[in-house]
Amino acid sequence: MLCKAANRVINRNEPTFLEETCSRILSFCNSNSLKQGISVHSPVIKLGLHHHLYLNNNLLSLYAKCFGVNKARHFFDEMPHKDVVSWTGILSAYVKNGNHDTALRVFDSMLISGESPNEFTLSSVLRSCSSMGEFDYGTCIQGYVIKEGFDQNPVLISGLIDFYSNFGLVTEASNLFITKGNHDTVTWTMMISSCVLAQRWVQALQLYVDMVKAGVAPNEFTFVKLLGACSIHGLNYGKLVHAHILLRGVKLNVVLKTALVNMYSRFRRMEDAIKVSNSTPEFDTMLWTALISGFAQNSMFRKAVSTFHAMGVSGIIPNNYMFSSILNVSSLMLSLALGQQVHSRVVVTGLEGDVSVGNALINMYVKCSDNVEDALRVFRGISLPNVVSWTSLIAGFAEYGLQLDSFHLFTEMREAGIEPNSFTISSIIRSFGAAKLLPQILMLHGHVVKTNLYEDIAVQNALVDFYAEFGMLNDAWQIVDTMNRRDAITYTTLASRMNQMGHHESALHIITDMKNDDIKIDEFSTASFLSASADLGTIMTGKQLHCHSVKSGLCKWFSVLNGLINLYGKCGCIHDAQRAFGEIGMPDIFSWNGLISGLTSNGYIPSALSTFDDMKLSGVKPDAITFLSILSACRNGKLTDLGLEHFQSMREIYNIEPQLDHYVQLVDILGQGGRLEEAMEVIQTMPFTANTSIYKTLLRACKAHRNIPLAEHTAKQGLELDPLDPAFYILLTNLYQDSGQHYLAERTLTVMKEKQLRKNPSHSWVEIRDKVHVFVAGERSHPRTNEIYEQIESFEAEFKKHGYLFQGIGHSYYHSEKLAVVFGLLNTPSKATIYVIKNSSICRDCHNFMKFVTQLIDREIIVREGNRLHSFRKGECSCRG
């Protein structure tokens, strides 16, 4: 159409009309970035208008917008006459393209030509100075601005504020803002942006208030900058900003919609994010990318993929950011098929050489493909691989188990002139740590010490994590003590590793270290501390953490809510666990597993199995951990056939290969059902080498059913694996005694003594007023031992008075759980629940003792043994034993 219009122009031989028509066409095409407008260039030449400066400046702008800076520069060089608009046009084209060095050279040429810059020229030059780190050059420009009388110009005030802010000189930017009056919307917005960039959140908010009081109307970009402060101020602040946008009638353009989508996505409010995106019909690549990234952040991967397909249907062509985002989704989903489909789209679009897309492809193939060559092939196809490309490839080789190749790549990277940054070093340390490459990491540690990277907190945190993971806590603490600055990641890493090592009490002590360093406990550290409280059974500490998470707004995080489910489930407060579960809008696999495990361990077997059905109906697929809890529920509920069904469904329905722990549960289920021969057959035919745990499980079942021949055979198999494990002798001894074979029992005990084997004394602990008290069977080291023993004897005397049939084992050797329970009764309020943790199974004598105690006094006693809880109340136990 434009070509036909141009031909009609040529046929009209009226100079003024011709100039005006060409001018209008070019102006329209410039405003709408229509590359067809360039067809006017030919008529301009044919009509002899190539000396027309206004037309040439419009053509220059169109070339820059639609055909790139190189085409624009070629046209610029051929222009017979140039003015300030011409020079500013080509200079700003280089700035927008990121060619700041060339932009500054063009500015020098402009000055040499004798052309004087205007405010727009100088603003573009200041942007290049910021990007190039040319502070001195920028201050010279400021001097020129003052000399030429531009110092009150709002465009240049905004440019100078941005210049100083980019160099971290927010105070100077603020002073400049204060000394220059009559600011417009752009200047106010730039100052707010500077404060947000410097993380001066309160100052940014105050500037917005002052801006409104001054009668300056904020625009969409003002609100975009304000929304950047929401990560600190929280969701309510973001909602308040959104409300101001609506109240002021600011048009929701795609830039503002993108900022709102990012804000709501960050706070897991994807419904609100979708509502904002659909509030107007305008979409662009960045808005689509924000939606896909939001779904990915919230683990809504299917929604992310469907959004990517919807974008394709809309006709918008993905850019490198979009491809990187959807490739990240495929990496998180571990979906090689999706990643390969996206890769083919990348090739079609011509972005396979783009470094950001290439890095995302490397990451995807590393995580999803079984062949490391796929990642290597992508790496070789990147024209200029950067430090991220090398880091992804090195970490990928380490994850594939190619440790030596990984280390060689690190050396090759340095030889190629690419120096590792803190992210590279920390990533490699984590990858090598996961592969247990101690010598290589020690070499890396030595390399880091020789560079300035040793002072980087990300590198130091990675080293702390590595040493803690290897159990070298002293070395980890030594690094922590030498750090100039510690953060929440430092301490969360330590707490998490201590939990894995079973040092739960030490993990909780880290709370004090964080307070001393004035570091806020975040959602990740809270989850680690809740895990420590759950495993230690310190319910009061857990409740204090719960209160803190409510006050600090951390209760909206999945990790915290899942930690609360775990805490309350393990401490016998199953209703509190269910309440925490109910606060999660869309429970994930960890939420469901935590609740099912809690219900199982607390003896709510029907509820556990019902919750499992609810989980499947919700669309969440069970995993191996889920089935451990379900098999445990079937074992505790003595549901032999149902347990077998669930075990078979793992492979047949859910494509989950049972692990050794699942076979231990299966043997326990069969053993409880008296199907001992089948249990032995499972051990003999399973695809794993039997360990002592599975033999002890079968031996306990033999004891329960008094099957001496199979018990002896089982004990023999177990002792061949570990001849020094006293548990086999003790279980056999108890079986012989229960069966009346006292001679065999005495002979077994004699063999134990000859081998100098002793049963490890059991431990129990109870938390009283934030202090953990540990008790050991047979020991009298506790300062209140005499008082505890007297109370036990008093209880036993009361049992006899009330006619309870209680058979004690003698006061000289009271078990640890009995000591802990009585100590708790002596030191807590009359209606308080007693929580006791034991590191082994509760014996029948102590079990009966606690049943009778709760029949005498109105108290609840909860004893946890491993993953099972016994809740004693009014003479009954939740296990019904």
Domain of residue 840: give its range: 763-877
386 torsion bin: left (phi>0), alpha (psi -120 to 50), beta (else): beta
Q: Which amino acid is at 463?
A: L
Tokens 């601005």 sit on residue: 145
Comparing 33-42, 267-276, 297-306, 612-621, the range with the smallest average pLDDT is 33-42
Residue 105 forms part of a structural domain:
no
> Could you tell me if 623 and 547 lie in one domain?
yes
Task: Report phi then psi at 351, rounded to 5.
Answer: -110, 15
Task: Report phi then psi at 307, rounded to 5.
Answer: -65, -40
> Could you tell me if 603 and 746 lie in one domain?
no
Tokens of 305: 């993929």
What total number of domains does the chain contain?
A: 5
Q: Cα angle at 717 between 712 and 720, to 5 degrees? A: 120
Percent of the chain at pLDDT exceeding 70? 92
Predicted confidence (pLDDT) at residue 14 exceeds the cutoff of 80: no
- CATH code of the domain covering residue 673: 1.25.40
> Could you tell me if 443 and 477 lie in one domain?
no
> Could you tell me if 753 and 773 lie in one domain?
no
Q: Kindly tell me the burial class for residue 113, based on how many C-beta atoms sit within 10 Å of its own C-beta (0-12, 13-18, 19 or more).
A: exposed
Residue 393 forms part of a structural domain:
yes
Residue 336 forms part of a structural domain:
no
Predicted pLDDT at 2: 46
> Could you tell me if 665 and 700 lie in one domain?
no
Which CA distances in Å does 122 have to 53, 318, 754? 21, 34, 93
Predicted pLDDT at 879: 80
Last residue within a domain, chosen from 211, 235, 250: 250
Q: How many helices (H) and strands (E) does the chain have?
A: 49, 6
Tokens of 224: 């975009």
Last residue within a domain, chosen from 714, 731, 759: 759
Beta bridge partners of 837: 765, 864
Predicted confidence (pLDDT) at residue 93 exceeds the cutoff of 80: yes
Which CA distances in Å does 679 have to 281, 638, 841? 64, 15, 22
pLDDT in tens, 635-646: 989 999 999 999
Q: Which residues touch 701 (CB under 8 Å, ≥6 apart)?
A: 667, 668, 670, 671, 672, 676, 679
**Per-residue confidence band for 36, with pLDDT thresholds at 50, 70 and 90:** low
Predicted pLDDT at 43: 67
Predicted pLDDT at 507: 94
* Rounded Cα gap, residues 323 and 301, in angstroms: 15
pLDDT in tens, 610-622: 999 999 999 999 9
Predicted pLDDT at 451: 77
30 or 195, which is more confident? 195
Cβ atoms of residues 847 and 822 within 8 Å: no
Residue 319 forms part of a structural domain:
no
Handedness of CA 790, 792, 796, 802 (dihedral sign): positive
> Could you tell me if 538 and 619 lie in one domain?
yes
Cβ atoms of residues 340 and 369 within 8 Å: no
Predicted pLDDT at 582: 93
- How big is the chain, counted in residues? 881
Q: Cα angle at 721 between 718 and 727, to 5 degrees? A: 45
Last residue within a domain, chosen from 737, 759, 781: 759
Q: Where are the alpha helices (DSSP H) in 403-437?
A: 403-415, 422-434
Residue 397 forms part of a structural domain:
yes
> Could you tell me if 627 and 690 lie in one domain?
no
Residue 309 forms part of a structural domain:
no
* Rounded Cα gap, residues 125 and 100, in angstroms: 8
Q: Kindly tell me the burial class for residue 784, based on how many C-beta atoms sit within 10 Å of its own C-beta (0-12, 13-18, 19 or more).
A: middle
- CATH code of the domain covering residue 171: 1.25.40.10
Tokens of 707: 């099957």
pLDDT in tens, 418-455: 888 888 788 778 777 776 777 777 877 887 787 777 78
